[in-house]
Structure 1
Amino acid sequence: MKKILSIALGATMAFACGTEPQEVDYTQLSDEERLEVAKEIAQSTIIVDGHMDLPFRMYNLGNTMNGEIYDFINRQESGNIDYVRAREGGIDAPFMAIYIPAIYQERGGAKALADTLIMMVERMAATWPDKVALAKSVDDIENNFKKGLLSLPMGIENAAAIEDDIDNVAYFYNKGIRYMTLTHGKDNLVGDSSYDDSETHGGLSEFGREVVAEMNRLGMIIDVSHITDKTFFDVAEVSKAPIVATHSSARNFTPGFERNVSDEIIKKIAEKDGLVMITFGGSFVDQAFADRNTANREHIASWLEEKGLSRSDTAAQEYIQKYMADNRPNVHVSKVAEHIDYVAKLVGIDHVGLGSDFDGVGDTLPEGLKDASMYPNLIAELLKLGYSKEDIEKICSKNFFRVWKSIEDVAKSA
């Protein structure tokens, strides 16, 4: 990784003065100067984010196809992304997660919910065609970028959406789904979840092997976030195409947290020319944050039991709000940069990307990385670590584009 790069200093210096760009050692700049450079990079570079839970958040707010559409275009006080903040932060292709809670695989309705969430994303593009567009390929994203449009590619989170029908993989691919996270909070028909101790299949199920093969055939990206280590290595063995963790961080920083990826898994992903897209949530990036969060939850549960209250009671709400304000753990955006740096040093710069999990991790996001307007803060931290503009372009989108095209090439050659 180069410490010297040729780029306009702070987007206002060399180019603004009409002179040739000069090589600058960005590690030697002030934080303010680095941030100006980072803002310029964010606006001029395509940024892909592997995972955002906006569709399910909209659904929870009652924004179904028959309801009033969520005001995505104007700045919102809640949530982590809207059009204004996306433009400020330079994000160009946030993957809309079509999230299926595990309860739906038990009570039914998983496919129907997926269809509803997909229609909601389609409705956003239809409502604001001058600002937002769907995207089903690298070319779509690049063309939308040239037109000044925000791309909304889609991925399914939890293969429970396909229920027990292998034909539903192609059904969702034809509806624009370009990746599928194999599990979520519970084991499903495809494989075992890292959040579930049941080990129902002992890894990938026989049906799961069929699903992986079908995803390879179609050119659908296999997302290995949320699965157990055993399931992962089964997937790595079966898949003929590269694999991606669209929103996972490095387990090195959170020992024992199987939801994050181990060094062995990171190396196997790189061996298959895949990608680890680092997620932002505090409990994913910092062990001290996770420990404090766990202690807070345990305290509140104990207090509620002692007082005979439920979370919905007014007295409980007041106490919880004050307690969390006094005891909320903090972590800085620099910790996310450390995860990126760790993966890059372990397996190379070509195998790391971004997967925020915005709108999916509540109020656990790091200082300086609370919403979609703040990608420049992360880029500035990477510049501080000595990453070049070329490196950052790879992290922001070029690595993902390479992997996505490779997966499509496998499908074409099948």
Structure 2
Amino acid sequence: MGADKQYDGYQPYDYLEAGEDYRTFPLSSKTAGFPPREIELTSEEEARVDDLTDDTVLSLHEHAFQFPDDIDEDLFDYIREGRIHTAYEFLAETSLDAVFDMQLDGLSSVHSLNGWKWDDITHEVSMRACDLMHSDYAFQCRTVDDIHRAREEGKLAVVQCVESAAMIENELDRIEQLYGMGVRSMGITYSASNALGTGGGDIHERDGGLTGFGVKAVERMNNVGMAVSVSHASPQTSLDVCEVAEKPVFDTHALAQGAGMGARGTSDEVFEAIADTGGVVGLLSSTHLPDIETYMEHFEYVVDLIGIDHVAFGPDVLYGNHTELLRVLSSFHGMELPESTLESEYVDGLENPTEAWQNIPRWLVANGYSDEEIRKVLGGNVIDALEQIW
């Protein structure tokens, strides 16, 4: 995390008058009521963690903002207010120099009930960008040099991302418009199929894979310098993307079929295809997992499969009650989630970005990984890929 964090106390939308210029909501605390956990280390190991996190620490996938304290009551009113609150104060307590922030994605429903509309996504991207421009601590990340600057200056580079390209519809030029707004990573699909390809949650009798338009979209993203992610895409779509991409491909957050996730996880074949592009897989924390130890079983499985040069961390956590959020969303969309999704109220040791990025480096040190290996998975691997992509 380079220099000591230079957080200046800025709160989201401080340039306006809360309660007058926009409606306010009680927001979640850092822990959302769950007991925090810190992996215990010896004093020698503590010193080693401090040294290792002086180098770049980067998360490949988070939702780096606060949800309402009462998700059941306030979630949709909070979203439709159109001002999501980046958790500057909490993020300043982490070792992060850069974070791939996936924003609200399909929950971006300021103007519609169903999300993923162009007006909804661009509203959120631009509103968050405006707020970042008023913070002296966090700033919008557009280049690899921005990540290095954040580390050197004790600041946070926020990479604005979206998890699906659904909102570009059949307009390739919208990729360039999003890039111009600051978006530097985009997924192909988010579970549901779209004009680019088959979604991971939308496979019926067959997996249609990447469409012809999807091939053109991957090419345009490569040309403008926007990272391509296959998270939530179908297996065939993911394989097709890896085949046609001319630059490294990401899966920003994934769990492994072979480490116990079954059909809900990603196959060895897809992981290997991503690695063959020079890409990186970020490991996902999930309520399928009870604790950080189970999470790290997936990490070690993927490292053994594709090599440590192609693995990073994308916990996909947030500040709020993650399990309650899933319950509300499943009810709203009329979906029935697997029992295993809701069986853990929280993931012990990984419940929010502050806890996750405290414990991930500590676990790696406690479990005997070398300095070189730790520096790679904490940020070095992603930086190497971004040097080619951006």
Give your verdict on TM over 0.5: yes
**Which residue pairs with 1:88 in the alignment?**
93
**Which residue pairs with 2:374 in the alignment?**
392
Q: Is the 8 A contact 1:110 1:163 kept in 2?
A: no
Q: Is the 8 A contact 1:37 1:380 kept in 2?
A: no
Q: Which runs of 5+ in 1 are unaligned?
A: 1-28, 73-81, 287-330, 409-414
**Which residue pairs with 1:345 in the alignment?**
304
Amino acid corresponding to residue 391 of structure 1 in structure 2: E
Q: Is the 8 A contact 2:108 2:124 kept in 1?
A: no
Mapping for residues 199-278 of structure 1, pairs under 5 Å: 202-258=208-264, 260-278=265-283
After superposing the two structures, state which structure 1 stretch, 364-373 or 399-408, moved more: 364-373
**Which residue pairs with 2:61 in the alignment?**
51
Aligned pairs, how many? 322
User: Which structure is larger by alpha-carbon Rg, 1 or 2?
Assistant: 1
Deviation at 1:108, TM superposition (A): 7.7
**Which residue pairs with 1:367 in the alignment?**
348
Q: Is the 8 A contact 1:190 1:204 kept in 2?
A: yes
Output the CA distance in 2 between the equivalents of 1:152 and 1:138: 12
Output the CA distance in 2 between the equivalents of 1:137 and 1:122: 15
Deviation at 1:176, TM superposition (A): 0.9
Name the CA shift for 1:126/1:280 in 2 (closer, same or farther; >3 Å).
Answer: same
- Is 1:154–2:160 an aligned residue pair? yes
After superposing the two structures, state which structure 1 stretch, 83-92 or 152-161, moved more: 83-92
**Which residue pairs with 1:3 in the alignment?**
none
Q: Which structure is higher in helix share? A: 1
* Percent identity of equivalent pairs: 27
Amino acid corresponding to residue 94 of structure 1 in structure 2: V
Q: Is the 8 A contact 2:187 2:230 kept in 1?
A: yes
For the residue of structure 2 that corresponds to 1:44, the secondary structure is: coil
CA displacement, residues 35-63 of structure 1 (integer Å, 9 cap, x when unaligned): 62465146413221112224695895656
Output the CA distance in 1 between the equivalents of 2:196 and 2:51: 40
Q: Which runs of 5+ in 2 are unaligned?
A: 1-38, 69-73, 324-343
- Is 1:113–2:120 an aligned residue pair? yes
Mapping for residues 1-400 of structure 1, pairs under 5 Å: 31-33=41-43, 36-37=46-47, 39-41=49-51, 43-54=53-64, 57=67, 60=75, 70=85, 72=86, 82-101=87-106, 110-128=117-135, 130-198=136-204, 202-258=208-264, 260-283=265-288, 286=289, 331-359=290-318, 362-363=322-323, 365-374=346-355, 375-400=357-382
Name the CA shift for 1:358/1:194 in 2 (closer, same or farther; >3 Å).
Answer: same
For the residue of structure 1 that corresponds to 2:93, the secondary structure is: helix
Output the CA distance in 1 between the equivalents of 2:60 and 2:276: 20
Name the CA shift for 1:407/1:265 in 2 (closer, same or farther; >3 Å).
Answer: same
For the residue of structure 1 that corresponds to 2:253, the secondary structure is: coil
Q: What TM-score do you get using the length of structure 1 for normalisation?
A: 0.70
Q: Is the 8 A contact 2:108 2:116 kept in 1?
A: no
What CA RMSD, in Å, does the superposition of the two structures yield over aligned residues? 3.0
Q: What TM-score do you get using the length of structure 2 for normalisation?
A: 0.74
Q: Is the 8 A contact 1:121 1:152 kept in 2?
A: no
